[in-house]
A and B are shown apart, each in its own frame.
Chain A
Amino acid sequence: MTSIARKNLFEDIPRFLVAQAGIMFAVSLVTIQVGVFNGFSRSTGILIDRSAADIWVSSSDMVNLELTIPIPASHLALAQQVEGVERAEALLLGAGIWRSSEGDITTVRLFGFDPDGQLFASFPVMDGSLSDLKQPYTVITDKSNLDSLDVRQVGDTASMGSLAVTLVGLTEDTQSITSSAYLFSSLENVKAIATGGRSANLNCRLQNGEFFCMNVFGESPDENPAPTPLSATDPVTHVLIKAEPGTDLQELKQRLQQSLPNTYAFTRGEMAKRTRAYWVQRTGVGFILGLGAVVGMIVGSVIVGQILYSSVADHLKEYATLKAMGVSNRVVYSIIIQQALWMGVLGYIPSLALCIGLGFWTFATQGIMILITPLTAAGILGLTVFMCVGSALFAVQKVTRVDPAIVFKS
């Protein structure tokens, strides 16, 4: 029985190839949509995933990793006193405009951390090392940003505000595709770069019983003034916590929230989930990619259904012959469903290979990951089989209705 399903399928090779092209189109479309979604979702929380912090403490207004209100650096010292905290480290986010040596500008997102710390940058650095960040105005970035930053290699410089900034290392798989290029540096450097090497003075005078204040920005006298360490009054963005072994993280979260006013504590997983949920929901990207996947499924089902239906129509007399011989409907259906399964599996395998290949290519060239996890692959196989068998059931009707008496008609 297997052989008849297979042989009916391979009998007409051109038609089989058209069918396979259709299935591959559908499967690839679904895989790419799901893979891009996975890759997108993964990348938005990648820094959190890759951190070694058990808990992230942020402002109670925090929306996601990058969208939050600063908290005082003094929270760092408070956190260190909380029972169950082994280590606390500060993370300072900033933003800036990067001007390459060619003069092109692009926005960047700065992440300042302690290069000697353990909790944030637990990712490997190629072509350089984290300790290079102790030098003033040095940064590390993901190698996928080289193009957008318009730099070639480690050692290249650019300016941010009036400061000359040097690229001292490259990382891999640290960039969120929804954000500006991430630049990693020390807390001091980020603090200095974020203010752009400008000094700000508030000039106030009393006039008619009211204060008139004016912010006065001025170029610092030095070209690259030495960065200053973080003081207790400086803002930080997140406080990363490493818990003592055996500490209950939920309880530690509560203690941290109590000790650090106006903050909220999240486990690493919660923080990553919150950030991902923001990007997936607020951007509608999940909906759009999901829509693409559904369209792919529909297109695939129509193609498979069409091909199977016409194949069944072509072989109707054979199926009628089987029915006349006394073969039960169930057996006849199983032949058609086997055909559908063959089509599904033979369309799935090359499509998946194609998408994995495509994923490598897009990641290498665009930094966009098409993430096909084993679960995704299994799910898509299930969908493919569902799609093909569903279409087969549509074709099966034609056999159900066939009158075996047609076998005697020429």
Chain B
Amino acid sequence: MTATPISFQVSLPESTAKVFSQGCETTLDAFRTAGKAIVARGVEMIYQSGSQRFHALKHINLEVNKGDIHLLMGPSGSGKTTLLSILGGILTPTDGGICLLGQDITRMSQSQLSKFRLKNIGFIFQEFNLFPALTALENVALALDVKGIKGRAAKREAMGLLEQVGLANKAKSLPRDLSGGQKQRVAIARALSGNPQIIMADEPTAALDSQSGHAVITLLRQLAKEENRTVVMVTHDPRIIDVADRVTYLEDGILQNNPTAIHHQKLA
């Protein structure tokens, strides 16, 4: 690294996206992305349905530190889910580059991207998205199975994950026999399966009452911190801000601030 910090204090030029899309290993990015799990540069998202165009994300530049619990907040319709889907490689942005764990996912083919997600990202959803026909244990084991851990080993590991989320005694229950909070804990166990470095969650507490919502997030934070995982979480819920390391606000598809370091300020 020959670059000095001073030469990069200026705001990024419009052409950053282009520079970035050359890869994550340029000198510029090597400096800027050190210690970052996620770097987004110049991300634009335009939804096109028929003749309707909707500019959902406007020139998003975002960095998420490794090991952080990073919240995305903002009013309804501001583009939080859209941004999370793009950061997670589920949605392809209209323009811009996204670097996850040092790899430019916008340059990957669909199947490369699928493999990348399978290995590196765990997803948690507002509606849990558990498989209703499978028990808690089987839901987790299925995720392990598709990640290459099969049969009895998968069952054993799934049981370990359920223990971590405190649901070993509910292993044989079907999702319909679990409370919302329990379902989300199963979903967390599933997201943690295969030990991904990044967890992406979209309003994981929205379907829960505030108490179990808080409990679920505290658990998620604890499990993430144990393994230095990075968590990006979309939320409306102001009560879970204290669990986060940083918060980014979105409004009308525009980032409102540089990530605010919650904990660091509070602890300082």
CB within 8 Å for A4 and B134 given contacts A407-B90, A408-B202? yes
Give 1 or 0 for each of A300-331: 1 = CB within 8 Å of chain B CB: 00000000000000010110011111111001
- Whether B133 lies near A8 (C-beta < 8 A) is yes
A407 and B133 contact, CB distance less than 8 A: no
| B200-241, CB < 8 A from A | 202
B34 close to chain A: CB less than 8 A: no
Selecting from B11-19, B61-69, B70-78, B119-127, the interface stretch reads: B119-127
Chain A residues, CB < 8 A from B90: 324, 404-405, 407-408
Q: CA separation between A409 and B131, bound complex, in Å?
A: 16
C-alpha spacing A358/B131, complex, angstroms = 41
Query: Which of B91, B113, B114 sits near A327, CB closer than 8 Å?
Result: B114
| B81, CB-defined interface residue at 8 Å | yes
Q: How far is the CB of A241 from chain B (nearest CB, A)?
A: 66
Q: Which residues of chain A from 1 to 47 have any CB-CB distance to chain B below 8 Å in the complex?
A: 1, 3-4, 7-8, 10-11
Do the beta carbons of B118 and A325 come within 8 Å of each other? yes
Task: Report chain A residues within 8 Å CB of B115.
Answer: 326, 328
Contact, CB under 8 Å: A322 / B132: no
B115 to nearest A CB, angstroms?
6
CA gap between A264 and B134 in the complex, in Å: 71
CB contacts (< 8 Å) of A331 on chain B: these are 146
A231 at the B interface (CB under 8 A): no
A407, B129: Cβ atoms under 8 Å? yes
Do the beta carbons of B117 and A324 come within 8 Å of each other?
yes
Interface residue B143 (Cβ < 8 Å from any Cβ of A): yes
Q: Name the A residues within 8 Å of B134 (CB-CB).
A: 3-4, 7
Q: What residues on B are CB-neighbors of A4 within 8 Å? A: 131, 133-134, 138, 142
The verdict on B149 contacting chain A, using a C-beta distance below 8 Å, is: no
Chain A contact patch, size range: 20 to 34
Which of A318, A325, A328 meets B123, CB within 8 Å? Answer: A325
Contacts of B113 in A (CB 8 A): 326
Whose C-beta in chain A lies nearest to the C-beta of B120?
A326
B61: min CB distance to chain A, Å = 22
Closest chain-A Cβ to B263's Cβ sits at a distance in Å of 27
B262 near A: Cβ within 8 Å? no
**Complex contact A408–B126 (CB within 8 A):** yes
How far, in angstroms, from A405 to B84 measured CA to CA in the complex? 10
Interface assignment of A233: CB less than 8 Å from any CB of chain B: no
Sampled A-B contacts (19; CB under 8 Å): A1-B145, A4-B133, A4-B134, A4-B138, A7-B138, A321-B123, A324-B117, A325-B143, A325-B146, A326-B114, A326-B117, A327-B118, A327-B146, A328-B111, A328-B114, A404-B90, A407-B129, A408-B85, A408-B90
Chain B stretch 107-161: residues in CB contact (< 8 A) with chain A: 111, 113-119, 121, 123, 125-127, 129, 131-134, 138, 142-143, 145-146
Q: Which positions in A face B, CB cutoff 8 Å? A: 1, 3-4, 7-8, 10-11, 315, 317-318, 321-328, 331, 404-405, 407-410
Q: How far, in angstroms, from A321 to B187 measured CA to CA in the complex?
A: 12
| Bound form: Cα–Cα A328–B123 in Å | 16
Query: Mostly helix, strand, loop or mixed at chain A's interface?
Result: helix
Residue in B81, B119, B127, B202 whose CB lies within 8 Å of A326: B119
For the A-B complex with A7-B134, A328-B115 known, give 18 more contacts whose Cβ atoms are closer than 8 Å.
A4-B131, A4-B134, A7-B131, A7-B138, A315-B131, A317-B127, A318-B129, A321-B123, A321-B131, A324-B90, A325-B123, A326-B114, A326-B121, A405-B90, A407-B90, A407-B129, A408-B90, A408-B126
Query: Cβ of B121 and Cβ of A410 under 8 Å apart?
Result: no
A10-B133, A318-B131, A326-B114 in contact; A407/B125 too (CB < 8 A)? yes
CA distance A247 to B126 in the complex (A): 84
A11, A321, A327, A328: the one contacting B129 at CB < 8 Å is A321
Nearest-CB residue, chain B, relative to A319: B131
Contact A407 B123 (CB under 8 A): yes
Chain B residue with Cβ nearest A321: B129
Given known contacts A4-B133, A4-B142, is B125 in contact with A325 (CB within 8 Å)? no
A7 adjacent to B91 (CB under 8 Å): no
Q: Taking CB as reference atom, which chain A residue is nearest B86? A: A405
**In the complex, which residues of chain A have a beta carbon less than 8 angstroms from the beta carbon of B145?**
1
Nearest-neighbour CB distance to chain B for A132, whole angstroms, equals: 68
Q: Are B146 and A405 in contact (CB under 8 A)?
A: no
CA separation between A328 and B148, bound complex, in Å?
12
Chain B residues in 8 Å Cβ range of A323: 114
- Say whether B85 contacts A405, CB under 8 Å: yes
Do the beta carbons of A408 and B133 come within 8 Å of each other? no
Which of B113, B127, B131 lies at the interface centre, i.e. has the most chain A CB atoms within 10 A of its CB? B131
